[in-house]
Structure 1
């Protein structure tokens, strides 16, 4: 991340923005725009989010205007990013005149809120390391752009934007070109592009949305989720306050929650695997029901809707199978052998907590469930089903019960999570439970 620019995510952006957000929007219309339509698109984008979009749109335009780039370069990168759908030259405008129009419309929108508004000096990203990294990615994909019949000088023009105008905007224009010309990107390169986007402070959607990624097959042994996942992650979505009218919809949303880092279908496959482990186990249906109620803090009281734990797991499995048919039809669910080498380590942590929970209950004000009953059910999962799933559900129950932890316990949980391959923020969710001196 650059030190002079705010993190775009913190500013409220969740997708592409500014100049490249405009080109994406105009390109998505699927038709050539006339002058009036193009100006309307600029004005509409500038007016979004109470005018907040106008800030980045105007800044991007002025960064290009402030550069020494000739009009021919500005024209080439604009036409590539917008998919040839609006050519300023067809309407008597040079590229610089068109950029001035964008800047003026953005400023006009901001002056509606503050009449004295004057655009601040531009702050282009000129970090040499970032410039080199972006230029390297552009150069590496030059042959692919050439094969896709992109303009012969596009690669050079993009590199010129990066080195002579702004590395941030140059990288976004490069991504727009990859999307417009449907350049297929292997996963390793995609991960690098995501990492670069993170250094610029972008939301992941700026890289991810519309990019043609060559995804590896769905593989539940790859733990690429940053937060909780699978059945334990699903239970967190059903905590108190959840609207019981949308149970299957909540599951569908969870099953589709692959995030930008994972092969589409990954979350559905992991959730299905967790579900099948419990369905095919010898645990009693009462135990399965208790596990769900405890991990959700009775957020979705299936027992009050005449649904037992196994019936509900079957419904979850159906949703996951539907998602996999849609995005990964070649995937065949296989429940792998659990990692029993971790069983005793997880059990020790569970048994240490038992003494802290003698007087605790889940949902004390509505059909309470003694913590001792819950922990006994978790022990059965750890020893008879899967210590990985058992540990993830254990972490969920700790948070539901607000069990106080020592720093040493938390550190051990982090170690266990790392050995299971959990993401950076998985165990971190329990940090608030640490007792402070």
Structure 2
């Protein structure tokens, strides 16, 4: 049957459908029988106020209506459950068990939610199937070795990958990918960073919740490198300012910095957020910038979310507190990491200074925090310009983007595209400019 794709992240926080049932069966202690498998299936179906029944029913019917031999379905299922439940041992065999799963889940489709602006994922089935088969083949060798070493299943190692490929080709690419991920997790098969990025790209294309891929997956992360730009959005000191924007009320300022330092992107190794923040702080502390300039930069980019000037906190003391938090985080999650500052980007300094000049008219008459001890837009831009010339143009450009996000001037489509192009030259993630500035484009220029 054809699958109607959804933005599954709206409904689920993790796995769903038959792959979620496989996970429940693999994690259940004690003896498993058909009755317990059907009970667990009912719990998976009840997820999200009963929405889970839709995906479970679609998965089951994809297998039932396929021409796949029962032996292929059995092998893929045994691998996904780590040998915990064999549907072939049920009285009516694999397809009989699937029919009983389907009987209590009538086929139905979701209607678009009122006012829903998220389009349904549009990835073509053939494109998906080819991509899933490629990932299965990429892991076939280590998966086969993990099967041989396992004491939980007695399966010919090569048949696991072959069966998963057959599910992708002959039943459904979405289900095959989720079963493949389940197999990688239960057998502890390591996944390299490049393959992980491809799997996360498929996750995005399918509208899945991110944890479906990364929860429980053994990713072999490369060493932390503050020069890498893996995060999809903002990072470092500029990202920290956004954590303080508005009426934050969650604990102390130190607690807030700890949250930001621990906010690793799903594309980053643990500790990367702290390492990137620490690199920016070291740049600022090692520069010739006056404390007053750093204070203006902080207050402007955070929208006066944390008023270090009113609290009598010297800007460099504030940076040292951030430094301490980052070092504490790195000691906890990446004790082998030794901070190294990436080379200063000088090739784009003039381009950033031109961007600042182009932004001057946008902020000429703008006051940041206009209702309380306002900071004039030109003063904020002048402080950021000093960061560009005296510290780091990469950080300076990110702080310019933060100023624009805080001040919220209208942008032409051309201005937005210019910022986006410069962000790409710095290697920023695809969401960095979109999240901060896209909503500022004038409506009449979008058409």
Say whether the fold is shared (TM-score over 0.5). Answer: yes
1:83-102 aligned at under 5 Å gives the runs: 83-88=82-87, 92=91, 94-102=93-101
Q: Paired residue for 1:138?
A: 136
Deviations 1:385-411 (A, max 9, x none): 111101111111112112333444333
Alignment of 1:193-272 (within 5 A): 193-245=199-251, 247-272=253-278
Query: 2:152 is matched with which residue?
Result: none
Tell me the TM-score normalised to structure 1 length: 0.86
Partner of 2:169: 163
Conserved in 2, the CA contact under 8 Å of 1:46 and 1:105?
A: no
Question: What displacement does 1:294 show?
Answer: 1.1
Q: State the Cα distance separating 1:260 from its structure 2 match.
A: 2.7
Q: Provide, for residues 171-226 of structure 1, a one-character-per-residue CA deviation record: whole Å limited to 9, x for no partner.
A: 22122111111111222222333333434333333322222122111112221222
Residue matched to 1:365: 371
Structure 2, unaligned runs of 5 or more? 109-122, 149-154
Report the equivalent of 2:384. 378
- 2:439 aligned with 1:432: yes
Distance 2:441 2:124 in 1: 42
Q: 1:128 — aligned with what?
A: 126
CA offset digits 1:39-65 (Å, max 9, x no partner)? 332222222211111211121112112
Is this contact kept in 2: 1:126–1:166, CA < 8 A?
no
Deviations 1:258-304 (A, max 9, x none): 33322332222111111221223232323222222211112233444
Shift of 1:88: 4.2
What corresponds to 2:41 in structure 1? 42
The answer to whether the Cα contact below 8 Å between 1:244 and 1:300 also exists between their aligned partners in 2 is no
2:20 corresponds in structure 1 to 21
1: CA distance between counterparts of 2:127 and 2:365?
Answer: 57
Aligned to 1:320: 326
TM-score by length of 2: 0.84
Q: 1:105 and 1:306, CA in 2 relative to 1: closer, same or farther beyond 3 A?
A: farther
For 2:134 and 2:328, the matched residues in 1 are separated by 41
Distance 2:423 2:98 in 1: 51
Tell me, what secondary structure is at the counterpart of 1:426?
A: helix
Which residue number in structure 1 is paired with residue 117 of structure 2? none
Residues 60 and 131 of structure 1: CA distance in aligned 2, closer, same or farther (over 3 Å): same
Q: Is the 8 A contact 2:12 2:48 kept in 1?
A: no
Whether the aligned pair in 2 keeps the contact of 1:15 and 1:205 (CA below 8 Å) is yes
